Amino acid sequence: MSEDVKHDAPATGRHFLKQWIAEDVATGRTGGTVVTRFPPEPNGYIHIGHAKAVCIDFGMAAEFGGRCNLRMDDTNPAKESDEYADSIKEDIHWLGFDWGDGFYNASDLFDRMYEIAKKLIERGHAYVCDLSQDEWKLYRGIPTEPGRESPGRRRSAADNLELFQRMRAGEFKDGEKCLRARIDMASPNLHMRDPVLYRIMHVPHYHAGDKWCVYPMYDFAHSIEDASEGVTHSMCTLEFEVHRPLYDWVVDRLDELDMLVVRNGVRIRPQQREFARLNLSYTVMSKRKLLQLVEEKRVDGWDDPRMPTICGLRRRGYTPQAVRDFCERIGVSKFESQTDVALLEYCLRDDLNLHATRRMAVFNPLKVVVDNYPQQGGLSAELPDNPTDAKAGLRRVPFEREIFIERDDFMEEPVKKFFRMTPGAEVRLRGACIFRCTHAVRDEHGEIVEVHGTYDPESGGGNAADGRKIKGTIHWVPASCALRIEVRLYDRLFNVPDPLDDPERDFVEFLNPDSLKSVTALGEPALAEARPGDKFQFERVGYFCVDTRDSQPGALVFNRTVTLRDSWARKS
Ligand code: ATP
Ligand code: MG
């Protein structure tokens, strides 16, 4: 099943999928339009791994001037719901992609699939099998030896058709019978040893209601969905590579039944190719595992800001641009590997640096009293909302006799190269003035409770009138009008790069107990105007956004999106 593919996939170069499509366009196989699809199963929220597939599916269609359908692959009724389907649409739109009028539900084709199955039986391509699941596995055998035939294989087409109709009529219990393709019980590919096409499930479907008690299997359904929509290029993850011969087998049957879409005189035979899925460090990506975290309340829902789901990333403060940039940088290849989450965070900082509004906030406050500053001082710092954006405005931060600085920015006995606040030395209070600390005041336990000093009245804006150099600049907030804000400091959800690596241990054992710390911080007054979803850089600290779920007017909650630098890399 291996094929000649180019493994080098530079972000902007022609990766193997692009080459493949370009060739088909050149030879006219697409009938003039490249059609791709993104086919999520609506059984969970989509995550950053799906974003990779979304970017490839929609990206390739856009690149070749074609279109990409959104299809709910809802052939397994047990775990699907409208809640999930709606969230998937919202998330794809948020990522910046649109399917136009190309929205489909696989379940809308149930009648058609059933009719196709009957035609396959009539033509001897399928039969009803009465083996139990265990027998079926036993009969299928191992790759190096041919399997054994199911007794149903030799039944007449008429008898098989009658049995299949009775299956559909609900005469049998789950698992009692199934419909199988008649292909090759000696194939070295076990998927070709008369694979199951239909199974009995007495479960209502979230769209089709209780109309069906037989449901098509993925491989059968997917090829029919692709063919019916006139999809030319069907891209999926590597685990489907071994299924490709079966995909092609079903397409051949549709061709035989004259059921392929014809576009501009070209019969559209959909083709499948596979790429490596995205694995990201310090998280898990299987919907089943993510659902477990939600159900066991180990996180606060699918949109918990620590989740790798798109809604979690959005609530955390990620931007669609950052996610798309990341997907572009990881490229497309056929190699399974793990991508370092630091790359995703890098893309995020890159984008937030350009767009996030700057504000000052103090997390561990230490009071500073400016002894020579008049009670009604009138000084204020005028600071750019965003120095990287020429069009961004300025905001004023009133300077006061009492301000708060970060406790870490003061050292009574400074270590070498400490250029922040320390007795006797000058430091710049960001945008306001130059300040010289005189002394610290301690309480009865010896704890420093406040720091005193004087400011240079000739240093408006923080620059000395005589041009003398000031090495350190620290941020501050005015004591009387600082805003108390709740800040949630998020960290990685897991302690280890691959929580699924140890088969002996349950992945939840590797959850990071410190992945969420809630603190109260003091922010500059302008933060009072922040709205849910707004993104900020708290200067010298990191990027934060206003939580869209838990913020109340007058009681804002901020999520830490990402630290300013890669603090994780420095820790380890
Ligand atoms: P899970 O792994 O959680 O079971 P899934 O692959 O079954 O997810 P689907 O809804 O079937 O989820 O996925 C829709 C599409 O997204 C498929 O084409 C699938 O190949 C692709 N996809 C899913 N996970 C990833 C991933 N980690 N990286 C890239 N593509 C992915
Ligand atoms: Mg799947």
Same-domain check for residues 438 and 504 = no
Say if 204 falls within a structural domain: yes
- Strand 103-105, strand 67-72: pairing: parallel
Same-domain check for residues 271 and 299 = no
Same-domain check for residues 74 and 180 = yes
Q: Which ligand has the nearest atom to the CA of 47?
A: 1
Nearest to 459 by CA among 379, 344, 525: 379
Say if 226 falls within a structural domain: yes
Q: How far is 135 from 508, CA to CA, in rounded Å?
A: 35
Same-domain check for residues 144 and 212 = yes
Distance 102 CA to ligand 2 centre (A): 20
Say if 115 falls within a structural domain: yes
Same-domain check for residues 424 and 469 = yes
Residue 55 contacts residue 49 (beta carbons within 8 Å): no
Q: How far is 142 from 189, CA to CA, in rounded Å?
A: 9
Run of H or E including 313: helix 310-316
Residue 103 contacts residue 93 (beta carbons within 8 Å): no
Same-domain check for residues 271 and 226 = yes
Instruction: Name which residue sits closest to atom 10 of ligand 1, judged by CA.
Output: 40
Nearest to 195 by CA among 241, 240, 158, 246: 246
Which whole-number Å values give the CA distances from 557 to 342, 385, 521, 531, in the listed order? 25, 20, 10, 10
Atom in ligand 1 nearest the alpha carbon of residue 41? 10
Which whole-number Å values give the CA distances from 363 to 269, 424, 521, in the listed order? 60, 25, 5
CATH number at residue 161: 3.40.50.620
Same-domain check for residues 378 and 463 = yes
Mutational test site, ligand 1, from 105, 237, 313, max ligand atoms within 8 Å of CB? 237
Last residue of a domain, one of 475, 503, 522: 475
Which whole-number Å values give the CA distances from 147 to 137, 155, 214, 419, 449, in the listed order? 9, 18, 26, 76, 80
Say if 522 falls within a structural domain: yes
Same-domain check for residues 273 and 324 = no
Last residue of a domain, one of 264, 280, 296: 280
Mutational test site, ligand 1, from 97, 277, 333, max ligand atoms within 8 Å of CB? 277
Say if 111 falls within a structural domain: yes
Q: How far is 18 from 22, CA to CA, in rounded Å?
A: 6
Instruction: Name which residue sits closest to atom 22 of ligand 1, judged by CA.
Output: 50
Distance 41 CA to ligand 2 centre (A): 6
Distance 128 CA to ligand 1 centre (A): 31
Q: Which ligand has the nearest atom to the CA of 44?
A: 1
In the prediction, which pLDDT does 378 show? 86
Last residue of a domain, one of 475, 497, 522: 475
What does the DSSP 8-state code read for residue 539? T
In the prediction, which pLDDT does 376 show? 78
Say if 456 falls within a structural domain: yes
Q: Which residue has the tokens 């130059």?
A: 434
Instruction: Compute and round to an integer the Cα radius of gyration of the chain.
Output: 31
In the prediction, which pLDDT does 3 show? 39
What does the DSSP 8-state code read for residue 460? G
Distance 42 CA to ligand 2 centre (A): 10
User: Catalytic residues, which ones?
Assistant: 41, 277, 287
Same-domain check for residues 314 and 431 = no
Q: How far is 148 from 193, CA to CA, in rounded Å?
A: 9
Residues with Cβ within 6 A of ligand 1?
39-41, 49-50, 52-53, 236-237, 277-278, 285-287
Residue 344 contacts residue 316 (beta carbons within 8 Å): no
Say if 368 falls within a structural domain: yes
Same-domain check for residues 103 and 242 = yes
- Strand 357-359, strand 483-490: pairing: unpaired
Nearest to 20 by CA among 263, 232, 317: 232
Six-digit token pair at 512?
């990071």
Atom in ligand 1 nearest the alpha carbon of residue 57? 18
- Strand 394-398, strand 380-384: pairing: antiparallel
Nearest to 533 by CA among 326, 345, 356, 385: 356
- What is the tally of structural domains in the chain? 3
Distance 218 CA to ligand 2 centre (A): 9
Write out the chain's pLDDT in tens, 572 residues. Answer: 333 333 444 444 689 999 999 999 999 999 999 999 999 999 999 999 999 999 999 999 999 999 999 999 999 988 889 999 999 999 999 999 999 999 999 999 999 999 999 999 999 999 999 999 899 999 999 999 999 999 999 999 999 999 999 999 999 999 999 999 999 999 999 999 999 999 999 999 999 999 999 999 999 999 999 999 999 999 999 999 999 999 999 999 999 999 999 999 999 999 999 999 999 999 999 999 999 999 999 999 999 999 999 999 999 999 999 999 999 999 999 999 999 999 999 999 999 999 999 999 999 999 999 999 997 778 999 999 999 998 999 999 999 999 999 999 999 999 999 999 999 999 999 999 999 999 999 999 999 999 999 999 999 999 999 999 999 999 999 999 999 999 999 999 999 999 999 999 999 999 999 999 999 999 999 999 999 999 999 999 999 999 999 999 889 999 999 999 865 444 33
Q: State the virtual CA torsion across 14, 99, 259, 232 in degrees, nearest 10.
A: 0
Same-domain check for residues 268 and 129 = yes
Q: How far is 236 from 354, CA to CA, in rounded Å?
A: 34
Residue 335 contacts residue 7 (beta carbons within 8 Å): yes
φ, ψ for residue 296, nearest 5 deg:
-85, 5
Distance of CA 412 to the CA centre of its chain: 46
236-267 pLDDT, tens digit each = 999 999 999 999 999 999 999 999 999 999 99
Say if 391 falls within a structural domain: yes
Same-domain check for residues 152 and 263 = yes
The residues facing 180 across adjacent strands are 127, 196
Count of CB atoms situated within 10 Å of the CB of 567:
11
CATH number at residue 322: 2.40.240.10
Distance 255 CA to ligand 2 centre (A): 26
Instruction: Name which residue sits closest to atom 13 of ligand 1, judged by CA.
Output: 40
Atom in ligand 1 nearest the alpha carbon of residue 277? 28
Containing structural domain, residue 406: 364-475
